[in-house]
Every structure is written in structure tokens, then in C-alpha cells.
Amino acid sequence: MRELEISFRSIPATLTYKLRQQVLWPDSPIERVMVPEDHQALHIGAFEEENLIGVGSFFFDLPSVRLRKLAVLPDKQGRGIGSNLIRFAANQPDLQKADYIWCDAREDAVAFYQRLGFSTEGEAFEKSGVSYVRARVELVPLSLKII
């Protein structure tokens, strides 16, 4: 298997929708993956050559930033794309103004976030039939783990 050459860059919200739907809610209409505040967020795309293979959206409410809709194509998962996307975003000037990133992590993805240094808070809860746990990582000092 050849080594993936992945690049990351800011993208418009509209480019996130198809991949969000494909990975997170494949049996739902595209509107399900749209967030009313998408126009205010920082959206990061992960590209293999020019193919979009991962997305993550960062919503600002300083001193925190909320990560939402992190999605990597299933056949590209497990290769560090999601974790490197979060690291790339954390190094963007706007995110460096924040104290921490938080998200509602799907319970089956908690280990992924913990490997990055996120800690969980509170009990699991359900949204739309999916179990989630609140997770956060401090950015001051930057505590995202290099794995």
C-alpha cells in the first residue's frame, strides 16, 4: 500500500455536506448534516491529491471552540487523517485564541478523542438514536497529543 499524501486547508461549508452525509448520516437527507451556524465556522478539508476525504467544522464561542461533524471516508479511517485535521485546525490563528476545543463525541469514537488528549465530561446522552459523550481538550498550553 502506498503512503497517503494528505493536505489540509480551509474550505467553504458547502463542500462539507456531501462527505458529512456519506459518513455520518448516510440514510438521511442532506439537510440533516447542515448546521445553521455553518456560515460562521471554520471548515477544514483533508485532501488526498484533490479528492476530499475528510472534513471537520469548528464553531467559535470564545473561550471555547466546538468541533462538529468530523468525518473521514470509511476506507481512509485509521490512518491519522482525523487527528491530523484537528491538529491542523488547532494551529490556525483563529483557534489559537481559544482555551479549549469541545465536542459531543459519538460513544464509539471516544477512544479516538482520548488518544488526542481529550477528556470526557459527564454521562453519555442520546441524540437522534446515537449515544454521545461530551469531550474537551485544553489548548493553553496546547495539549493535543502527537501520536
**Model's pTM, two decimal places?**
0.90
Residue type, 58: F
| Paired sense of beta strands 42-48 and 6-11, if any | antiparallel
Q: Is 1 a member of any domain?
A: no
Q: Is 143 a member of any domain?
A: no
Domain extent for 21: 6-138
Give SS3 for 29.
coil
Query: Is 51 in contact with 2 (CB distance < 8 Å)?
Result: no
Q: Is 71 a member of any domain?
A: yes
> Is residue 69 exposed (0-12), middle (13-18) or buried (19+ Cβ within 10 Å)?
buried
CATH number of the domain that residue 91 is part of = 3.40.630.30
Q: Is 100 a member of any domain?
A: yes
Reported as a single tens digit per residue, the pLDDT across 95-133 is 888 999 999 999 999 999 999 999 999 999 998 888 999
Mean pLDDT of the chain: 91
Q: Cα dist. 32→89, 114, 115 in Å? A: 24, 27, 29
In sequence order, the 6+-apart residues with CB closer than 8 A to the CB of 42 are: 10, 57, 58, 60, 89, 92, 94, 95
Reported as a single tens digit per residue, the pLDDT across 61-76 is 999 999 999 999 999 9
Q: Is 44 a member of any domain?
A: yes
Q: Is 41 a member of any domain?
A: yes
Q: Is 147 a member of any domain?
A: no
pLDDT interval class at 36 (50, 70, 90): very high
Structurally, the chain folds into a number of domains equal to: 1
Q: Is 96 a member of any domain?
A: yes
Query: Is 78 in contact with 64 (CB distance < 8 Å)?
Result: no
Q: What is the pLDDT of residue 143?
A: 54
